């Protein structure tokens, strides 16, 4: 049977095949080299991080047993058999949870206000001066690179234990994170309205107010809501360093091995975070929808 496909003569095929194999081989070498580098880095960092697999395998059974114990009461019964006992501290925890949410809200709003003021000075297309722009950008980078808990630790010394330190830490981190995002929003605006206002003889603040701001509001709000979601998670652990919120009770429960309390508080946090996520994502989709209809 003759094949309908025309075969290339062997003499012609040889160099083609050789070339193909050479290219595959060089790629393979490349991959092996990368894998080798990664393996070396892994070994070095395992030494530095005191990784010991025997220790892990000897103790790994404690991980599931810890999780299982989380769902058992003091008297050894599973938690769902006795809800009042499991959530014995519900009024207190709900109050702390409310405080956590309030902290996240205040921190987000304060940070968003700061970022809002800064972003017009940090955006490349509207910034009044180049040096100011660089300075504002560096400041935002500093604010978002230093971890929130570090700020919280410092603020706890200055403002004492309590939510004030936590709120300020969250606010500063938010200034950094939102400042960058807001500046990017401003950089993406249509410059024609701004040019029109400036050409009419108006000052820079007026141009920002009526030229730039109307194009950015819904994006600003959407990013701020996204940040609120993240901040709820991070304020929940602010209490670990004494900066207010439910984290204080959580770490105490973990440290003192009140297993059922740990699972109850964690569950409360998870449910709250899930509810907030759903709500904010709904509002955000509405905002984005409004933007697209325009």
Partner 1 sequence: MQRRPAIDLVAIRDRHPQHFARFDRQRLLTLLTGIAAFALLLFGLAQLGFFGGTLLSGGARLVEIIGLMLPPDPGSWAHARTFGVALLETVAIAFLGTLSAAVLALPLALLAARNVTAARVVRFFARRSLDTIRSVDILVWALIWINVVGLGPFAGALAIMTADIGSFGKLFSEAMEAADRKPVEGIVSTGGSHALGIRFGILPEIFPVLASQVLYSFESNTRSASIIGIVGAGGIGLHLAEAIRTLELQQTSFIIVLILIAVALIDFVSSKLRFAMIGRRGAMT
219: nearest Cα among 244, 198, 189? 189
Report the alpha-carbon distance of residue 192 to residue 184 in Å, rounded. 17
Report the alpha-carbon distance of residue 118 to residue 178 in Å, rounded. 10
Report the alpha-carbon distance of residue 127 to residue 212 in Å, rounded. 12
Closer residue to partner 1 in complex, CB, 188/203: 188
Which residues inside 169-228 make contact with partner 1, applying CB under 8 A?
none
The minimum distance between CB 167 and partner 1, in angstroms, equals 6
Residues facing residue 78 across a β-bridge = 72
The binder of partner 1 chosen from 71, 89, 90, 105 (CB under 8 A)? 105
Decide if residue 142 touches partner 1 (CB under 8 A): yes
Count, in order, helices (H) and strands (E) of the chain: 13, 0
The minimum distance between CB 109 and partner 1, in angstroms, equals 5
Which residues inside 43-102 make contact with partner 1, applying CB under 8 A?
44-46, 48-52, 55-56, 59-60, 62-63, 66, 99, 102
- Do 260 and 74 contact (CB within 8 A), yes or no? yes
Size of the site for partner 1 (CB under 8 A): 58
Decide if residue 159 touches partner 1 (CB under 8 A): yes
The minimum distance between CB 102 and partner 1, in angstroms, equals 5
Report the alpha-carbon distance of residue 102 to residue 163 in Å, rounded. 10
The string of DSSP codes covering 18-78 is: HHHHHHHHHHHHHHHHHHHHHHHHHHHHHHHTT--HHHHHHHTTHHHHHHHHHTB-TTSSB
**What is the DSSP secondary structure assignment for residue 78, as one 8-state letter?**
B
The string of DSSP codes covering 169-190 is: HHHHHHHHHHHHHHHHHHHTS-
The binder of partner 1 chosen from 116, 139, 240, 258 (CB under 8 A)? 240
Which residues inside 117-136 make contact with partner 1, applying CB under 8 A?
none
Closer residue to partner 1 in complex, CB, 14/43: 43
Closer residue to partner 1 in complex, CB, 161/198: 161
Q: Which positions touch partner 1 (CB under 8 A)? A: 38, 41-42, 44-46, 48-52, 55-56, 59-60, 62-63, 66, 99, 102-103, 105-106, 109-110, 142, 145-147, 149-150, 153-155, 157-160, 162-164, 167, 233-234, 236-237, 240-241, 244, 250-251, 254-255, 266, 269-270, 273-274
């Amino acid at each position: 049977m003759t094949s309908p496909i025309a075969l290339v003569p062997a003499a012609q095929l040889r160099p083609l095949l050789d070339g193909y194999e050479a290219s595959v081989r060089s790629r393979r070498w490349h991959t092996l080299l990368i894998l080798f580098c990664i393996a070396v880095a892994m070994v070095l960092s395992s030494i530095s991080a005191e990784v010991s697999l025997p220790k892990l395998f000897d103790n790994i059974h404690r991980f599931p047993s810890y999780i299982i114990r989380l769902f058992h009461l003091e008297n050894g019964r599973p938690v769902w058999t006795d809800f009042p006992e499991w959530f014995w501290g519900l009024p207190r925890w709900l109050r702390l949870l409310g405080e956590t949410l309030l902290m996240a809200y205040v921190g987000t709003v304060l940070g968003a206000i700061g970022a809002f003021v800064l972003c017009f000075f940090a955006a490349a297309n509207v910034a009044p001066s180049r040096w100011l722009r660089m300075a504002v950008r560096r400041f935002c980078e500093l604010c978002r690179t230093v971890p929130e808990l570090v700020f919280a630790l410092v603020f706890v010394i200055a403002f004492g234990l309590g939510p004030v330190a936590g709120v300020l830490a969250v606010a500063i981190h938010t200034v950094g994170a939102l400042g960058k995002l807001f500046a990017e929003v401003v950089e993406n605006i249509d410059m024609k309205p701004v040019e029109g206002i400036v050409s009419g003889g108006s000052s820079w603040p007026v141009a920002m107010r009526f030229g730039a701001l109307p194009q950015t509001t819904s994006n600003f709000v959407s990013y701020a809501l996204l940040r609120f979601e993240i901040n709820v998670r991070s304020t929940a652990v602010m209490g670990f360093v004494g900066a207010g919120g439910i984290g204080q009770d959580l770490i105490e429960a973990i440290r003192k091995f009140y297993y059922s309390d740990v699972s109850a508080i964690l569950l409360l946090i998870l449910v709250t975070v899930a509810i907030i996520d759903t709500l904010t994502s709904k509002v955000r989709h509405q905002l984005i929808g409004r933007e697209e209809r325009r």
